[in-house]
Amino acid sequence: MKIGLHVSIAGGIFNAPLNAATLGCETFQMFTRSPRGGPAPKLTPEIVKQFKLNMTAKSLKTCYVHAPYYINFASTNNRIRYGSSSAIRDELERSSLLGVTALMTHLGSAKDSDETTARQAVVTGLLKALDGYHGGSQFLIEIAAGSGMILGSSFEEIAYYIKEIEKKDKRLKNKIGVCLDTCHAFAVGYDLRTAAGVNKTLKSFEAVIGLKRLRLIHANDSLTELGSRRDRHAHIGEGEIGTAGFQALVQNPKLKNIDLIIETHHDGKEKTDLAILKRLRKS
C-alpha cells in the first residue's frame, strides 16, 4: 500500500512527480488539464520524457489521473455527452503516454432524464470512450456521494455498468476497475468508522463487484454524517469517519496492495493527513 496526495502540475505536468516527492508522497494523483474545461496542454515527446525521468528520479512507481469535473455521460446536451466520451478517451491516451497507472472519473447526473435512460446513456458513452483502446492506463469508475441525481453512487449501480459494458463488448472483460472514495461511500451509507464496518463494506464490495476490481482508494474523511449523500471532504480524523476507521482501512490485509490518494483541502493540513495515514499503517 502506497499513500499519496493529489498534486499540482503548475509549470508543467513533468513537475508533478517532483511536487509529490517534496510533500512526502509514495504515489500521487493529478489532472493532465484544467478540470473545469478548455483544451488540454500538448504532451510533447520532451514533456513525456521529462515526466518519466522525474518519476524514476523520485522512485515513484505508480501515479493516477483524475478526469475533468465536467464529465456527464447522461447529459441531454449532445456537446456534453459526446464530449465526455471524447475527453475520457483522450485522457486515457494521454495517461498511457505518461505511463500513468489508472484514470478515474465520475459518470455524471440523471437530472435531465429518467434514471433508466440515464444509465443506458452511461453504458453507451463508456463503450464509445473505450472502443479500441489498447493503452496501458486502466479505466476506473469512482463511486459518487449520491446527492441529487448523481450517477454511480452504489456498488450495485457500478456493477450494472461493468456488466452491461462487458456484455456488449467482450474485449473489455476485466478491463474496468473501481476507485472507492471513503467520503463518498460513507455519504451513501457504507459505514467505515470501525474495523467491523470496513469489513462489512469490503464484504459487500466483494459480493457485488468483486475486490479484484478495486484498484484505488481515495482516503477522505467526511464532514457530514453517515448516509448524508453530501460530498464534503474533511481532513483525516476531523470528520465523521474518524481515525479509527482509517486505521482499520490501512491495516486491512485485503487492501495491502491498493494505493491510497488523499484529496483533502490543500491548506497545509494535507501533509498532516499523509503523515497520519503512514503512522496508522505502521501501528
Task: Give pLDDT tens digits along the chain (283 positions).
Answer: 999 999 999 999 999 999 999 999 999 999 999 998 888 999 999 999 999 999 999 999 999 999 999 999 999 999 999 999 999 999 999 999 999 999 999 999 998 789 899 999 999 999 999 999 999 999 999 999 988 889 999 999 999 999 999 999 999 999 999 999 999 999 999 999 999 999 999 999 999 999 999 999 999 999 999 999 999 999 999 999 999 999 999 999 999 999 999 999 999 999 999 999 999 999 7
Determine the residue type at 233: H
Give the CA count within 13 Å in the CB-facing half-sphere of 74.
Answer: 22
Choice among 184, 193, 213, 215 that is catalytic: 184
Active site residue 66: yes
Q: Measured between alpha carbons, how far is 249 from 281 in angstroms, rounded to an integer?
A: 9
Assess whether 94 carries a catalytic annotation: no
Cell numbers linked to 246 = 482509517
Query: Out of 181, 221, 240, 259, which one is annotated catalytic?
Result: 181
36 is catalytic: yes
- Please identify which of the residues 6, 33, 81, 218 carries the catalytic annotation: 218
In CATH, which of 3.20.20.100, 1.20.1050.10, 3.20.20.150, 1.20.1740.10 is domain 3-282? Answer: 3.20.20.150
Q: d(Cα 280, Cα 106) in Å, to the nearest integer?
A: 29
Q: What is the pLDDT of residue 112?
A: 79
Domain boundaries of the chain, sorted by first residue = 3-282
Q: Which of 118, 228, 250, 243 is nearest to 184 (CA)?
A: 228
DSSP labels for 126-140?
HHHHHTT---SSEEE
Active site residue 114: no
Confirm whether 263 is a catalytic residue: yes
CB 123 within 8 A of CB 84: no
Out of 26, 64, 119, 142, which one is annotated catalytic? 142
Q: Of the residues 233, 240, 270, 273, which is catalytic?
A: 233
Give yes or no: 184 in active site. yes
Q: Is 93 a catalytic residue?
A: no
Active site residue 106: yes
